Structure 1
Amino acid sequence: MISTVVAPDQVIQQLNWRYATKKFDPNKKIPAEIWKTLEQSLVLAPSSFGLQPWKFFVVNNPELRQQLVEHSWGQTQVVDASHLVVLAIKKDIIAADVDHYIERMAEVRQVPVDSLQGFSNVVKNFLNNPPVGLNEWSARQVYIALGQLMTSAAILEIDTCPMEGFNPAKYDELLGLNEQGYSAVVVCPLGYRAADDKYAVMPKVRFPTEEVVQYI
């Protein structure tokens, strides 16, 4: 029998347990040690080239969160959840961003910066000739991080609600993201479902496996 860190059936069980939580219990907060794990799931998220063209803004200020409700189509998850994460792209990344990443790589792996020049050139050439707009490409990377956050949360039985129903421009303005060169892409409240959230017990609707998975 193959040994795994987490039992395969437990992974499926937790993914079935997860749903887009519509109503959070505002009185239940994520313990600090669990939040640190979720925070690291964002830090450890993969991205193309490992470039990490993002920043994750955790909004703790209750007044700010209240102001965000009207720019979130009235969705109160942004105030009721224990934590609110705004996943943002670094806008219009340039060669200097690649240099910053290469310097970090050299530091972590304890190699000379010059030894990474070939890889640096590959990334910079990509930035000069991307298959899509650079900000769109960065947004795609952000969704990878969102998926990792949500899966990690599900394993820890922390509820999440990924949200695109918000006004990014207003979020950028209220949170001061523009001044830092970032722009909100997607929002993810995290916490604990309310006992009376009717969506918690609704069966998950998915197409049959054979309809969405094809072996070639």
Structure 2
Amino acid sequence: MSTYVDNLNWRYATKRFDESKKISKKDLDTLKEAVRLSASSYGMQPYEIFVIESPEIKEELRTAAYNQPQLTEASHVVVFAAKADVTAEDVTEYMENVGETRGIPTEQLEGFSNMINGAIVSRAKEEKAIWAEKQCYIALGNLLSAAANMKIDACPMEGFDATGFDKILGLEEKGLHAAVIATIGYRSTEDQTQEYVKVRKSTEKLFTTL
């Protein structure tokens, strides 16, 4: 049986997908749960995630992704959309979730709420948007790792017109902005990239133990 590290060596940024192969609902649900459980700053998850399977919408998104074939060939396109602004109302909603989930009166969470409001909400809107986008990348990492462990191919992508994605998916009116995307599915035998040897820094060059 393959180990986790073996599966990370197996994965690569898939350039061409087999259009005839689709991710099963069961596997897709597992990937969603893996992403849902991702870490985020304060646990707030200041983003929403759109899983696109509609051929028509994928075709539209492809035009906003410089006609890259992954957008239509992959089984699904995953769009991580960050909050354009993080407000006190978002913190209140999160506190209500914490209280309900852990059985704690929200009054007891006032200190936690004040800390987040002081550390995040008080920042300039642009700073908050950058902070929210960073959280999307943590969730993206979970998606890539989980997919590799399930032998599902994925390609993280920043090469797209975010404003175009926002328009196609109606994100702006939801207070969201497309931060990063990933296409997921199964590699095509025609994708020569899968034969490339993975290139990474050596352990000695990458890590310093103090």
TM value normalised by structure 1: 0.93
Which residue does 1:179 correspond to in 2? 173
Aligned mate of 2:68, from 72, 75, 83 = 75
Shift of residue 60, structure 1, vs aligned partner: 2.0
Deviations 1:40-79, CA, capped at 9 Å, x for gaps: 1111111000011000011122111111112112111011
Aligned residues: 208
Which residue does 1:152 correspond to in 2? 146
Check if 1:193 corresponds to 2:187.
Answer: yes
The residue matched to 1:133 in structure 2 has which SS?
Answer: helix
Which residue does 1:54 correspond to in 2? 47
Which residue does 2:5 correspond to in 1? 12
C-alpha distance in 2 between matches for 1:183 and 1:105: 25
C-alpha distance in 2 between matches for 1:48 and 1:165: 26
Pairing 1:109-188 to 2, within 5 Å after superposition: 109-127=102-120, 128-129=122-123, 133-188=127-182
Deviations 1:163-190, CA, capped at 9 Å, x for gaps: 0000000000011111111110111010
Check if 1:210 corresponds to 2:204.
Answer: yes
Shift of residue 129, structure 1, vs aligned partner: 4.1
Aligned mate of 1:29, from 22, 25, 28 = 22
Structure 1 unaligned residues grouped into runs of 5+: 1-6
Deviations 1:74-122, CA, capped at 9 Å, x for gaps: 1110111011110010111111000000000000001101011110110
Structure 1: which amino acid aligns with 2:25? Answer: A
Check if 1:105 corresponds to 2:91.
Answer: no
C-alpha distance in 1 between matches for 2:102 and 2:134: 27
Structure 2: which amino acid aligns with 1:52? Answer: Q
TM value normalised by structure 2: 0.96
Which residue does 1:96 correspond to in 2? 89
Deviations 1:179-212, CA, capped at 9 Å, x for gaps: 1111101110100000121011110011211011
Deviations 1:4-35, CA, capped at 9 Å, x for gaps: xxx9x711100100100000000000111111
Structure 2 unaligned residues grouped into runs of 5+: none
C-alpha distance in 1 between matches for 2:105 and 2:169: 38
Question: Structure 1 runs of 4+ off > 3 angstroms?
Answer: none
- RMSD over aligned CA atoms reads 1.3
The residue matched to 2:22 in structure 1 has which SS?
Answer: coil
The residue matched to 2:45 in structure 1 has which SS?
Answer: coil
